[in-house]
Structure 1
């Protein structure tokens, strides 16, 4: 039987929403650093993708059209993530498409993972639509 001990630890959040490992300072300096997923490339791509797909679009009450658009955005973001880093990560993409009724809104997330794991959130809106894309790249072993 294995016993687990719980110790209080602290994490620090990086600028793009990722967090450093609670025990990263206790790792030996000779351990190889794991490459981080490049969120800068993905952020630029997502901004361009949302602009190209959603500019001029208006809210559509047809659930199938909205679902199709959300699925296309999610699939294309995941495809780009695989181009940026084809191995070593698992990817999660969440797309929310809502009608813009003039309401205020905020999107964000907190993540407490290893340094190599990364996340990003992109928000796009026009007079009719609000779209939030959240993407996560989680190192797999």
Structure 2
């Protein structure tokens, strides 16, 4: 089932790109993603431009998969809406020491989570493969 494949990919691929739109121009950046089923989360500093952009336009696009210089393998395109999540229990659950270059810890007042709720996921088993689509 495609849903199981997507969940497996989300659990095993943490680095992806997040694209937003500001002033009718696309902006893309690498992000570290965490998954809870089909919902993705990413930590950020609430003082960043991406937070302002997301508040203006919560529609985003995410690419996840094909890490470590690989040219073949599974990947997903995710169309989602994003919201800011400041729930302490989620911030604690998704905290990783990998974030310490940007934030001081789960209690950092600038630490927020971006919660991505997908409405369409396109799963590709390999480069050039036909997409399997999940609409939510």
Q: TM (normalized to structure 2)? A: 0.32
Higher strand share: 2
Q: Which one has more relative contact order, counting CA pairs under 8 Å at least 6 apart?
A: 1
Flag the structure with larger Rg: 1
Q: TM (normalized to structure 1)? A: 0.31
Higher helix share: 1
